[in-house]
Amino acid sequence: MSHLINIEQAILEKLRSLSHDKQQEVLNFVEFLVQKTGNQNQLANETISQPQQRLSLQEIARLPLAERHKILEPFIAATSEDFLTDPELTEFSVLDGEDWEISKI
């Protein structure tokens, strides 16, 4: 327990030395980590609580829309997180740095 308190004290000391803008960035990062951890815990809990009934993509596609949403909902947050952080999925950001529009000749 004292180890945890020492970590908290060290973080607070470092945080106090930062500008307000940097403190806000730290807060945003911590909130991101908490949300990410919460999403991962939610997925793990739902996986444990649900009986393992694996459906193929074709079987899921045949279900009514509401049922499909129930099955896919736990994976949406993790998937969107992947698109934000996985370099292979963020390749489209390259387009922001290049002149990719067709120029008029």
Q: Are 71 and 55 in contact (CB under 8 A)?
A: yes
Q: Return averaged pLDDT per consecutive 10 residues of the chain, 105 residues in all.
A: 75 90 88 77 59 77 88 82 75 59 59
pTM of the model: 0.37
